[in-house]
Homo-oligomer: A and B are copies of this chain.
Amino acid sequence: MIGPLRRWLPVASWAREYSRETLAGDLVAAAIVSIMLIPQSLAYALLVGLPPQVGLYASMAPLVLYAIFGTSRALAVGPVAVASLMTATAAAQVATQGSPEYLGAAIALAMLAGLLLVVMGALRLGFLANFLSHPVISGFITAAAVQIAAGQVGPLLGVKTHGESLVAILVSLVPALDRTHVATATIGVACIAFLLWARRGLGPLMLRLGTSERAADVVEKVGPAIAIAAATAAVWALGLGARGVPIVGEVPSGLPTPALPPFDATLWTKLAVPALLICIVGYVESISVALTLAAKRRQRVDPDQELIALGVADIGSAVSGGFPVTGALSRSVVSFDAGAQTPAAGAFTAVGVGLATLFLTPLLFHLPKAALAAIIIVAVLSLVDFGALRRTYAYSRADFAAMVGTILVTWAGGVEAGLLAGVAVSIFLHLYATSRPHVAVVGQIPGTTHFRNVARHAVVTDPEILSLRVDESLYFPNARFLEDLVNDAVAANPAVRHVILECPAVNTIDASALESLEAINHRLADGGIAFHLSEVKGPVMDRLKRSHFLQELSGRVHLSHFDAVASIKPDLARRTRNAPRGRVAGSSPVPNRVGSTQRRS
């Protein structure tokens, strides 16, 4: 039984069962995730174009709030790469990076995205996320990851670049490469090399050095923290800050003061579409991670409640001066593997980040920005999946086209244009595909009651009967197609006196298709041809009964296609009387009374 309290506050359902064992699992997971999250949150603040402490702010309140409202027991919420890039793009449209307005825009985006998510959750509008098809999301994430990596090459090498799209970034990056700052680039490249090695080589090395397997496993995850510590130490020891290596500098310590973002109707209007895209992309990624992890322990995730939980997390980020957050794939998996048992692990992670904000910020003064760029580059490279292009191409050309369109438009025109283009292409190609459905002229397999495509099977047809099977719902994109089809088929077969439409795959008939069926019926009647339907599904038939179509139909609606042919040519029935009487039935048979006497007056 799920009461309203448990429904809206999932914390109520796990808090009372909280035990010492659960606590132990959650604490270990929180410790590891904190050590991952601190450098990542600083890096993603850099990616958005904000002071590093803003990343820390976005990694506290949201985690606590998700622990209260979220239904996934392992999701690690906080700043992520793609949402950070989208935030940077949107904020740059309304303010200059580095200005207070830019920070205000990022905070307003978090607030807007949060409010949109809460509204979507309350109104159960989660299906909106479905309009981002998987190839579009997949292509978008690959494109965004490449663009993020390209955007960090500048900070990594100590040169300035700018641009809201991959093309613009490359145009500003390539001519600047000869101004590479050697000391900065050395730190950056060394960090990348270490991080790539740490992923595969650090754990085994620790094992060889005699640590336990558990400890070796942990050390692997804390590569970024080690890289940051080493790079900061090197910059401090060698005095590289004074030699032009860009460093983080003064980071204010202390927790953020709760505040509301700027309420400015013009600003919010401009940020509405970007905020919607940020929250939908964030939600899609987050729910997919949550569902996958929940399935491993046969737990339940409520997609509508997840909208609310992520929305509240975003609002919490905004109120504490942070930018949009969502569920992070990499940290969630680490948290799950490390033994997180409840959302409390997220709250404990927030405590870890809070302690860092209170006590560690002085240590960040000498942190080179190139090290943060290296962390971002290595993190996003795992999101790049060009193999998906090949797999999608093999499976579906239409999905491949949507994917390629998304990638190319993202690179040429930026993240928002790319996503919107992907959605438009997916919808268009879907409508196009269903506008030309598969249609078969069918004939009877001799000696049986079965009807099959005349082009594929040896079947018997009657010159006076034209049997057509349409393998698609009939609705506006293909309504006129059906009219043309019947028009052409009848013009090409002057002997035809009966047209039968076999409908086992017709899941719906909308008003446009109904109008087309009525037009077909009247035109056929004008030419002295009767129009019949067969194997109409129950729900479709229920709806047809609410129109005048059945009264005006010149022919009849038949339970099975065999019945239709047999009622027109009774000798056919005699021919097959001794054949096995297994019937070709639609999944929802039409009630018997329909196929009776609805002849046209």
Contact of A526 among B295, B494, B511, B580 (CB under 8 A): B295
Interface residues on A, range: 35 or more
Question: A129 near B543 (CB under 8 angstroms)?
Answer: no
CA distance A494 to B297 in the complex (A): 12
Of A300, A583, A586, A588, most B-chain CB atoms within 10 Å: A588
Contact of A299 among B291, B491, B581 (CB under 8 A): B491
Question: B471 near A507 (CB under 8 angstroms)?
Answer: yes
Question: A519 near B291 (CB under 8 angstroms)?
Answer: yes
In the complex, whether A406 has a CB less than 8 A from a CB of chain B is no
Nearest B residue to A429 by beta-carbon distance? B510
Chain B residues within an 8 Å CB radius of A519 = 288, 291-292
Chain B residues within an 8 Å CB radius of A463 = none
Q: A127-B436, A510-B399 are contacts. A491–B135 as well, Cβ < 8 Å?
A: no
Q: Could you mark each residue 348-371 of chain A with 1 if its beta carbon is under 8 Å from any beta carbon of chain B, else 0?
A: 000000000000000000000000
Q: A300-B488, A476-B130, A507-B472 are contacts. A514–B395 as well, Cβ < 8 Å?
A: yes
Chain B residues within an 8 Å CB radius of A296 = 523, 526-527
Question: Which residues in window 126-176 of A have CB below 8 A to B?
Answer: 127, 129-135
Question: B505 near A587 (CB under 8 angstroms)?
Answer: yes
Question: B543 near A395 (CB under 8 angstroms)?
Answer: yes
Contact of A129 among B292, B480, B515, B580 (CB under 8 A): B480
Contact of A515 among B134, B488, B491, B523 (CB under 8 A): B134
In the complex, whether A20 has a CB less than 8 A from a CB of chain B is no
Question: A395 near B487 (CB under 8 angstroms)?
Answer: no
Main SS of chain A's interface residues?
A: helix
Chain B residues within an 8 Å CB radius of A432 = 127
Question: B134 near A476 (CB under 8 angstroms)?
Answer: yes
29 interchain pairs, CB-CB under 8 A: A127-B435, A127-B477, A127-B481, A130-B478, A130-B479, A130-B480, A131-B477, A133-B475, A133-B479, A133-B510, A134-B515, A134-B516, A295-B524, A295-B527, A296-B523, A298-B527, A299-B491, A301-B487, A303-B480, A394-B547, A395-B543, A399-B512, A430-B476, A430-B510, A471-B507, A505-B505, A505-B507, A581-B582, A582-B582
The 7 closest A-B pairs by CB, nearest first: A295-B523, A133-B476, A399-B511, A582-B582, A134-B512, A300-B491, A134-B515
Name A's B-contacting residues (CB within 8 A): 127, 129-135, 287-288, 291-292, 294-296, 298-301, 303, 391-392, 394-396, 398-399, 426-427, 430-433, 435-438, 450, 469, 471-473, 475-481, 483-484, 487-488, 490-491, 494, 502, 504-505, 507-508, 510-512, 514-516, 519, 522-524, 526-527, 537, 539, 543, 546-548, 580-588
